[in-house]
Amino acid sequence: MEAFLKPGIGLSNWISRTNYPALNVVQTGETEMSFYVNQDYAQPTAHLHRYSLRIDGFASLHAGFETGEMKTKTISFSGSKMVLNFATSAAGYILVELLDANDKVLPEFSSGLCNPLIGNEISRQVEWKNGPDLSGLKNIAVKIRFTMKDADLYSIQFE
């Protein structure tokens, strides 16, 4: 129930129907989606404003400067590699670890063997020291633990 787009400074931004969506979310590039809103409704300065977001950018798993962890529920997948959409600061990172259904770390996919993910990427493959290949885990129940610092994780895909 929280606002996704908050009104700006000034009374013109607080008129009824200002910030009212004018169109659905539209993919406007390979790495971006856009949404359009009415601004300055019923005023001579009325116009549509386009806002853009990264693909899958409506919500993220966020970690501040202090390191945090998140573990998924048990899942299974059919791909052979994991791809993340994420952003970190220069001091931030994301580490990925795979666990069995009983929360035991799969040694070859531990966070200690994960190459830290740093940067701002729409689609980056997760890699461990032994490589990125997850084909041996297809359709097996696993959990994923993310260790993050000053980072946002937008989406996870298996390809």
Which CATH number is 110's domain given?
2.60.290
State the average pLDDT over residues 94-104: 97
Q: How far apart are CA 80 and CA 78, in angstroms?
A: 7
Residues 106 and 40 in one domain: no
Residues 93 and 123 in one domain: yes
Residues 40 and 80 in one domain: no
Q: How many CB atoms lie within 10 A of CB 20?
A: 11
Residues 50 and 100 in one domain: no
Q: For residue 145, is pLDDT > 80?
A: yes
In a domain, 3, yes or no: no
Residues 113 and 136 in one domain: yes
Residues 138 and 104 in one domain: yes
Tokens of 71: 């573990």
| Kind of pairing between the strands at 142-158 and 61-63 | antiparallel
Residues 69 and 133 in one domain: yes
Q: How far apart are CA 42 and CA 47, in angstroms?
A: 10
Residues 68 and 46 in one domain: no
Tokens of 128: 């461990």
Q: For residue 17, is pLDDT > 80?
A: yes
pLDDT for res 15: 82
Instruction: Please report which residue ranges of the chain form alpha helices under DSSP H.
Output: none
Range(s) of the domain holding residue 44: 11-54
In a domain, 103, yes or no: yes
Q: How many CB atoms lie within 10 A of CB 4?
A: 11
Closest-CA residue to 137 (of 116, 158, 153): 158
The residues, ordered by sequence, that sit 6+ positions from 42 with a Cβ below 8 Å of its Cβ are 15, 16, 17
Count: domains in the chain: 2
Query: Average pLDDT, whole number, for the chain?
Result: 93
